[in-house]
Amino acid sequence: MRLQTDAIIIAVRPHGEHGAIVRALTPAEGVQVGYVRGGRSRALRPVLVPGNDIAAEFRARTDEQLSHLTAELSHSRAPLLAEPLAAAAIEWVTALTAAALPEGQPYPALYAGLSGVLAALEAAPSARGWAAALVRYELLLLGELGFGLDLGECAVTGTAGNLRYVSPKSGRAVSAEGAGAYRDRLLRLPTFLIGGKEAPGWPDILDGFAVTGHFLARDVLIERQADILAARHRLLDRLHRIGG
């Protein structure tokens, strides 16, 4: 097996005395895993950083064998790691992707989405500029894995207007009229998740994280909640401090 492709590094762990095992998301081949010889060396440590773009070459004699990976840096996001908020966002979004996606299955939409989130982190002057993109990525990931939310119409009335909530059980939207006495048991649905054109404020962004976080914990990260969701909690703690 030989695969040459662009990739985004999503996880790195030491292996042996000098090597590293790298998980990377590719545009057409999904998550690929490879062993990097000398991956813990001074030359390669700045390359093998979650969030970096690489030109990757995976080689293996058989499909069952762990590939050997050669990685050449295409774009470094190391400068963002000096900013605590951006670093927390990169830690979470790469850890989520590495934990949630099976190996070898193509997810081109998620590759594009992850690239978009990382680009927003670099371009936005404040967290408000990229936080909504991160919520949308979490929503996209849920959908790509078969746990998509149904936000097109109210689960109670069947109408598409005035959608204000999400059922934590069914993942379906609920209108203000349909919520009735159950509104306190529902998750608040921010308009930017259903096509709202105005830039969302912090209350809506944090409500969006509450919606996606509920379903990620329930449906996707069932066996790894403690260690993976800890990264999300660290990020949200920081966002709550600046967003109220």
Interval 107-121: pLDDT, tens: 999 999 999 999 999
**Residue 96 is encoded by which pair of tokens?**
């989520």
Average of per-residue pLDDT values in the chain = 94
The span from the CA of 42 to the CA of 35, in Å, is 17
Q: Which of the four pLDDT bands, split at 50, 70 and 90, describes residue 16? A: confident
Which amino acid, 142? L
163-167: long-range pairs with CB below 8 Å, 24+: 163/189, 163/194, 164/188, 164/189, 165/189, 166/211
Interval 89-107: pLDDT, tens: 999 999 999 999 999 999 9
Interval 140-187: pLDDT, tens: 999 999 999 999 999 999 999 999 999 999 999 999 999 999 999 999
**Residue 99 is encoded by which pair of tokens?**
């934990």
Q: Which of the four pLDDT bands, split at 50, 70 and 90, describes residue 244? A: low
Name, in order, each residue with C-beta under 8 angstroms of 4's C-beta and a sequence gap of 6 or more.
Answer: 55, 56, 57
Q: What's the confidence (pLDDT) of residue 226? A: 76
DSSP string, 103-149: BT---HHHHHHHHHHHHHHHH-SSTHHHHHHHHHHHHHHHHHTT---
Give yes or no for residue 224 having a pLDDT over 80: no
Write the CA distances from 159 to 14, 187, 193, integer angstroms. Answer: 53, 18, 17
Q: What's the confidence (pLDDT) of residue 118? A: 97
Parse the chain into domains and list their residue ranges.
2-76, 81-151+189-243
**CATH class (in words) of the domain with range 2-76:** mainly beta
**Residue 197 is encoded by which pair of tokens?**
């054109």
For the question of whether the overall pTM of this predicted structure is more than 0.85, the answer is yes
Asked if 111 contacts 70 with a C-beta cutoff of 8 angstroms, the reply is no
